[in-house]
A and B are shown apart, each in its own frame.
Chain A
Amino acid sequence: MQTEPTVTVDPVSLEIFRSALTAIAEEMGAVLTRSGYSPNIKERRDFSCALFDRQGRLLAQAAHIPVHLGAMPDSMAAALATFDTFAPGDVVALNDPFAGGTHLPDITLISPIYVTVDGDPLLIGFAANRAHHADVGGMSAGSMPVASEIYQEGIIIPPIKLWEAGQPNRAALALLLRNVRTPDERRGDLTAQVAANRTAERRLQELVERYGLATVEAHGEALIAYAERITRATIEQIPDGVYRFTDYLDDDGIGDRPLPIVATVTVQGGTLTVDFTGSAPEAAGSINAVAAVAKSAVYYVVRCLMPPDAPMNHGTFAPVTVHAPAGTVVNARPPRPVAGGNVECSQRITDAVLGALAQALPDVIPAASQGTMNNVTAGGMDPRTGQPFAYYETMGGGMGARKGLDGLSGVHVHMSNTLNTPVEAFEYAYPMRIAAYRLRDGSGGAGAARGGDGLEREIAFTVPTEVTLLTERRRLAPWGLHGGEPGAPGENLLVRDGAVTRLPGKVRFTAQPGDRLVIRSPGGGGWGKP
């Protein structure tokens, strides 16, 4: 046993390790983007990559998609709670929203990272990445259904070792792939996810080789404290006080009553607490969020107030407390359906927290943005290949106006920033056509600064296609601030034989050849009197 060398951490070495660890998480993302199969991964970057220390504390997470901010540590914790030991080459997979997951399409893979010390493997940390798969089975192609229990939403993967000591667990893999509509694509995505973790493994090993384990670990520790200092300094800029705001989900897709989300934000010195007591009880439909999603939404808002390249690790959100009462729409219990929690409920939680903070920081917080991701899933048989297809896409819309600055038009807001599928790529891949893709004129709320306009995307069907829409802000418009007007709510229209039918926000139907589906996403709210 060697004696531990003394390690000094100073402001210079801190910066060097900050950049080295972040670069590892970013390189993982580059591998996933370039080699993934699901459009959600390759075209739309709906994934997150992170590095953990050997105790399972987050060391670095790349800025890929905000809705995973609070969720990655929960996945790590679930893996640690399930398994006592990890061998080199093990890969833990999970998607169970009630055990470290968020919603079923997001499959997380976690790999232990080892170095060899005196001939023995020594665990030094973990690499993890979570990616949105285009289909994980369940009642609707694309696995974003309007469901009434989680069993309808797809296959549930509790934390299991999908690879053991480098060898695939063939039984588990076969069971998983037999339960999804597009198994080849799933296998390709999982392989890309493993490759991303392997990249992180190599890079962390190289870092240890270069600087020594003691130095790397001391800096991991120092970076956690460093991140916490930055967050505290950020929160200290917010006036102390208690701020409350209530926003509403349109409905849960089964009933038609709005569901309140109540955010009570308490700022005291360098700490911030968000309490969601008073929010609607968990819903019958798929709009529920799990607690990890509620945390992500709160963390996202805090992160927006921080400096542009603030580090993301275990310390970042230590000064932030989230209280999401179990059994509410922001912390549902099994077997509630939760497919829409990530994509829809998360946006409304964000709106509620921002609404509360607008009272504390009136010049900083923007008016409400579109507040939805406009989820469209479609599936059927592609006559060109004789194979089933599964399509999933989300749509941008109007961003809320800012003080003295219009909201952006036709962009993803807050919890998402995924790319669209190019029209030409879409038509190569699926037996459907895009008949129009344009900005939705006049949908942004008027104001001293205007809300951004939503989008309009018109899909023409050529074969019988099972379609599911999971959309929000179809009834209740994104709000304006300081006298600005609300943005226009979104619209879903079905054109069949020349007749136009207005579809509900959450709906499943079978489209016939010749049908057209027109989706209009909401505009953003205005800021200040017009």
Chain B
Amino acid sequence: MTQVLVGVDTGGTFTDFVLVANGSVRVHKVLSTPDNPARAILQGLAELGVGQELAAVVHGSTVATNAVLERKGVPTGLITTAGFRDVLEIGRQTRPALYDLRVERQPPLVPRERRLEVVERLDERGGVLTPLDPDSVAAAVAVLREAGVTSVAVCLLFSFANPAHERAVAEAARAAGLHVSASHEVLPEFREYERTSTVVLNAYVAPLMDRYLARLEAELPPGVPLRIMQSNGGSISAATARREAARTLLSGPAAGVVGAAYVAEASGFTQTITFDMGGTSTDVALIDGAITETTDGQIGGYPSKLPMIDIHTVGAGGGSIAWFDTGGALRVGPTSAGADPGPAAYGRGGEAPTVTDANVVLGRLIPEGFLGGTMALDVDAARRALAPVAARLGTSLEAAALGIVRIANANMEAAIRVISVARGHDPRRFTLVAFGGAGPLHACELAADLRIPRVLIPSTPGVLSALGMLAADVVKDYVRTVMVPAAEAAAVVESVLAELAARGQAELAAEGLPAERITIEPMLDLRYVGQSYELVVPYTGDMAAAVAAFHAAHERRFGYSDPNEPVQVVNCRVKARGLADRPALPRQPRDATARPEPTMHRPVVFTGADGPEVQDTPIYDRATLRPGATFRGPAVVTQFDTTTVVPPGWGGTVDAVGNLILEPAPREGARDAD
């Protein structure tokens, strides 16, 4: 009997479910219940008719994320080394905008009166310069309790080198009934501001996650394990997530990338760039065999150094508004029409010309096919919205619409260049995996601009996050700063990595993983002595090999390296991975005779040699495109939550797992008869 797994992704509007059992995949959606997200989850599970037979529920929660973005976490306190309580507020002493006389900064999550100091001080090797004064600890805890604080972050200088003081403070606070997040547990890594910010984020949301997950676990069928998605693209047990909630802050987008990588891999593509374009923002990420991670992330303006999938977000999407600046250039975004009123074509009173309106004017969004026909598109409103743009450009409406799409694509191209070209990756080696409501509309033209040879539209682009949860390994990340010259590092690196690996083994075993499914990936953060940014390289037990890998990585990333320069080991890292029993996506034999039947033909505008060119274009319903079906552009493929545009010169085929693969077709004089 195969196991039954459910991935559940709580979104703003819908809670998505993907159920895998017996080699089949079922997709389900229910309306989200923001007041208590668990209600929608239980309802969905009931509607899917699954209960105790579930092998696991993997869940992506927005409880922690929303608490930070809406500043609705619990009353939080902070305890620091004497003299440093303001580090959280000072940050890196920069203002967020250089040339803005009215610039503002995010207020810190812990206000000053709840930031307390204890007398103690360590040096950079963990040696005690000033012993911990227990009276100062008792006084700080008392003040916080008095202030009504329920959760406290503890971050002392150099605690990663010697956690004794921090541990004592944490124990005192726990003894007083406070929920405690200690920096040597959450992130034993140097740079006090980023570490403090990370541990404060954890303290701010952990009690909420604790409460939410406790309730959800209690209401799930007994014995069904609950796993929670993390920002690093792996899952952890609910028990861990309740303690280390900051690890889940960006789990939704992370799961989307994992899902995209998973479906692309099923089609045989392991080098992909994911392109998730929605209404107000666009996420892009790069997968070069493995998903790219970063420890320089932030949420809502607050830095977090916990590993997360390196997702680059730009504030541009289908709702971005086109406008002329004072110099006369046509601009798209950053202002968005949002969901309400939304683009003019939504007919909710929006009048500003948006990217979506441009797509409507071009005939690329099919009024009858939008959201499965459940939402009418007002073509006239879109044309009215674009009229002033066309008038100012002195062109037709269609030319204006093409201009808006071109600029939107240029913005998207810039975002993709940041994660590819600027990091030494050649886009020509990648497949563009497009999803989100607007991604597949723009993907082919964007790919052409970047010389990406192939576009993949997943068969279920609307539930990639929920699908990604099912494909996610159980992952735990460990780090410790060591700061030693590479030439002298072997012993300390071996011992720290062994300790982190042992913790990883033990904690994954505690999550119920058998030893044969656990892998340990040791890594080192290296830099040239004197630099401030590190590159992560794998450690295979051979320091010389790690150093050589560093020189090569530096060359690739920055265009130079110097094998004679001394190298320093900054951090030791271990990624402990419990391999998921990835459900195989169902495959169907390709049917070469599967002739796609258009549901209709429509005039759609494309860029011709001399401006806009109207082409009579077949419109296909994705549901009718069976594996093996091939067609040529121009074409438009509609499905419930997205629309795919296949420009002239491109060809499409549906592969065995149902993914739509689009590639530039070899130029031919004559078209196939259709």
Q: Are B97 and A308 in contact (CB under 8 A)?
A: yes
In the bound complex, residues from chain B placing their C-beta under 8 Å from that of A33 are 533
A513 within 8 A of B: no
In the bound complex, residues from chain B placing their C-beta under 8 Å from that of A424 are 124, 157-158, 190-192
Q: Are A438 and B86 in contact (CB under 8 A)?
A: yes
Q: Closest residue of chain B to A64, judged by CB? A: B98
- B interface, CB within 8 angstroms of A: 82-87, 89-90, 92-95, 97-105, 112, 123-124, 129, 157-158, 190-194, 324-332, 392-393, 403, 406-407, 410-411, 414, 417-418, 422, 483, 528, 530-533, 554, 557-560, 562, 565
User: Closest CB-CB distance, B654 to chain A, in whole Å?
Assistant: 32
Task: Tell me, in angstroms, the Cα distance from A227 to B325 when the chains sit together.
Answer: 11
Q: Per a CB cutoff under 8 Å, which of B84, B112, B129, B327 touches A230?
A: B327
Task: Tell me, in angstroms, the Cα distance from A428 to B161 when the chains sit together.
Answer: 12
In the bound complex, residues from chain A placing their C-beta under 8 Å from that of B554 are 35
Task: Tell me, in angstroms, the Cα distance from A425 to B324 when the chains sit together.
Answer: 46
Task: Tell me, in angstroms, the Cα distance from A257 to B565 when the chains sit together.
Answer: 49
Majority-rule SS of B interface residues:
loop
Q: Closest residue of chain A to B410, judged by CB? A: A16
Task: Tell me, in angstroms, the Cα distance from A59 to B558 when the chains sit together.
Answer: 23
Task: Tell me, in angstroms, the Cα distance from A436 to B90 when the chains sit together.
Answer: 13
Q: Are B83 and A417 in contact (CB under 8 A)?
A: no
Q: Spot the interface stretch: A104-112, A170-178, A185-193.
A: A185-193
In the bound complex, residues from chain B placing their C-beta under 8 Å from that of A233 are 326-327
In the bound complex, residues from chain A placing their C-beta under 8 Å from that of B532 are 36, 39, 42-43, 425
Among A227, A234, A405, A410, the most chain B Cβ lie within 10 Å of the Cβ of A410
9 further A-B pairs in the complex, CB-CB below 8 A; given A12-B393, A425-B191, A433-B123: A15-B407, A34-B533, A308-B97, A412-B93, A420-B90, A436-B84, A438-B85, A439-B90, A455-B90
In the bound complex, residues from chain B placing their C-beta under 8 Å from that of A16 are 406-407, 410
In the bound complex, residues from chain A placing their C-beta under 8 Å from that of B194 are 422
- Digit string of A339-382 for contact with B (CB within 8 Å is 1, else 0)? 00000000000000000000000001110000000000000000
Task: Tell me, in angstroms, the Cα distance from A191 to B92 when the chains sit together.
Answer: 26
A408 within 8 A of B: yes
Task: Tell me, in angstroms, the Cα distance from A31 to B86 when the chains sit together.
Answer: 31
In the bound complex, residues from chain A placing their C-beta under 8 Å from that of B417 are 23
Q: Are B89 and A409 in contact (CB under 8 A)?
A: yes
User: Closest CB-CB distance, A514 to chain B, in whole Å?
Assistant: 13
Task: Tell me, in angstroms, the Cα distance from A435 to B557 when the chains sit together.
Answer: 37
Q: Are B193 and A230 in contact (CB under 8 A)?
A: no
In the bound complex, residues from chain A placing their C-beta under 8 Å from that of B105 are 408, 411
User: Closest CB-CB distance, B460 to chain A, in whole Å?
Assistant: 33
- A interface, CB within 8 angstroms of B: 10-12, 14-16, 18-20, 23, 27, 30-31, 33-37, 39, 42-43, 63, 65-66, 184-185, 188, 191-192, 194-195, 198-199, 226-227, 229-230, 233-234, 300, 303-308, 310-311, 364-366, 395-396, 399, 402, 405, 408-413, 417-420, 422-425, 427-428, 433, 435-439, 455, 458
Task: Tell me, in angstroms, the Cα distance from A19 to B325 when the chains sit together.
Answer: 14
User: Closest CB-CB distance, B555 to chain A, in whole Å?
Assistant: 10
Q: Are A410 and B93 in contact (CB under 8 A)?
A: yes
Q: Are A15 and B331 in contact (CB under 8 A)?
A: yes
Q: Are B558 and A34 in contact (CB under 8 A)?
A: yes
In the bound complex, residues from chain A placing their C-beta under 8 Å from that of B403 are 10-12
Among B192, B194, B418, B532, the most chain A Cβ lie within 10 Å of the Cβ of B532
Contacts between chains A and B (CB distance < 8 A), count: 194
User: Closest CB-CB distance, A135 to chain B, in whole Å?
Assistant: 12
Q: Closest residue of chain B to A311, judged by CB? A: B327
Q: Closest residue of chain B to A394, judged by CB? A: B93
Q: Are B84 and A438 in contact (CB under 8 A)?
A: yes
Q: Are A229 and B104 in contact (CB under 8 A)?
A: no
Q: Closest residue of chain B to A354, judged by CB? A: B101
Q: Are A366 and B84 in contact (CB under 8 A)?
A: no
Beyond A411-B94, A417-B94, A428-B483, whether A14 also contacts B84 by CB under 8 A is no
Q: Per a CB cutoff under 8 Å, which of A43, A66, A234 touches B326?
A: A234
Q: Per a CB cutoff under 8 Å, which of A306, A410, A412 touches B86?
A: A410
Task: Tell me, in angstroms, the Cα distance from A31 to B560 when the chains sit together.
Answer: 11
Q: Are A308 and B94 in contact (CB under 8 A)?
A: no
In the bound complex, residues from chain B placing their C-beta under 8 Å from that of A308 are 97, 99-100
Task: Tell me, in angstroms, the Cα distance from A455 to B83 when the chains sit together.
Answer: 12
Task: Tell me, in angstroms, the Cα distance from A364 to B103 when the chains sit together.
Answer: 12
Task: Tell me, in angstroms, the Cα distance from A184 to B86 when the chains sit together.
Answer: 35
Beyond A33-B533, A428-B483, whether A408 also contacts B157 by CB under 8 A is no
Q: Are A15 and B191 in contact (CB under 8 A)?
A: no
Task: Tell me, in angstroms, the Cα distance from A23 to B414 when the chains sit together.
Answer: 7
Q: Are B528 and A303 in contact (CB under 8 A)?
A: no
Task: Tell me, in angstroms, the Cα distance from A226 to B328 when the chains sit together.
Answer: 7
Q: Per a CB cutoff under 8 Å, which of B87, B331, B560 touches A437?
A: B87
Q: Per a CB cutoff under 8 Å, which of A408, A417, A423 touches B104?
A: A408
User: Closest CB-CB distance, A41 to chain B, in whole Å?
Assistant: 9
Task: Tell me, in angstroms, the Cα distance from A311 to B99 when the chains sit together.
Answer: 12
In the bound complex, residues from chain A placing their C-beta under 8 Å from that of B94 are 396, 411-412, 417-419
Task: Tell me, in angstroms, the Cα distance from A364 to B101 when the chains sit together.
Answer: 8
Q: Are A230 and B560 in contact (CB under 8 A)?
A: no
In the bound complex, residues from chain B placing their C-beta under 8 Å from that of A20 are 410, 414
Q: Are B190 and A15 in contact (CB under 8 A)?
A: no
Q: Are B90 and A19 in contact (CB under 8 A)?
A: no
Beyond A15-B410, A424-B157, whether A419 also contacts B86 by CB under 8 A is no
Q: Are B104 and A14 in contact (CB under 8 A)?
A: no
User: Closest CB-CB distance, B298 to chain A, in whole Å?
Assistant: 15
In the bound complex, residues from chain A placing their C-beta under 8 Å from that of B89 are 409-410, 439
Among B95, B101, B403, B410, the most chain A Cβ lie within 10 Å of the Cβ of B101
Q: Closest residue of chain A to B534, judged by CB? A: A34
Q: Closest residue of chain A to B190, judged by CB? A: A424
In the bound complex, residues from chain B placing their C-beta under 8 Å from that of A19 are 410-411, 414
Q: Are B99 and A304 in contact (CB under 8 A)?
A: yes
In the bound complex, residues from chain A placing their C-beta under 8 Å from that of B90 are 396, 409-410, 420, 437-439, 455
User: Closest CB-CB distance, B145 to chain A, in whole Å?
Assistant: 24
In the bound complex, residues from chain A placing their C-beta under 8 Å from that of B533 are 33-35, 42
Beyond A423-B192, A438-B86, whether A307 also contacts B325 by CB under 8 A is yes
Q: Are B83 and A435 in contact (CB under 8 A)?
A: yes
Q: Closest residue of chain A to B87, judged by CB? A: A437
What are 10 residue pairs bridging A and B, where the CB atoms are less than 8 Å apart in the complex?
A15-B331, A18-B329, A188-B531, A230-B325, A233-B327, A305-B101, A405-B104, A423-B84, A427-B123, A428-B190
Q: Per a CB cutoff under 8 Å, which of A11, A36, A438 touches B329?
A: A11
Q: Closest residue of chain B to A16, judged by CB? A: B410
Q: Per a CB cutoff under 8 Å, which of A42, A63, A234 touches B531?
A: A42
Q: Are A411 and B95 in contact (CB under 8 A)?
A: yes
Q: Per a CB cutoff under 8 Å, which of A31, A226, A303 touches B558?
A: A31
Q: Are A195 and B83 in contact (CB under 8 A)?
A: no
User: Closest CB-CB distance, A23 to chain B, in whole Å?
Assistant: 5
Q: Are A425 and B190 in contact (CB under 8 A)?
A: yes
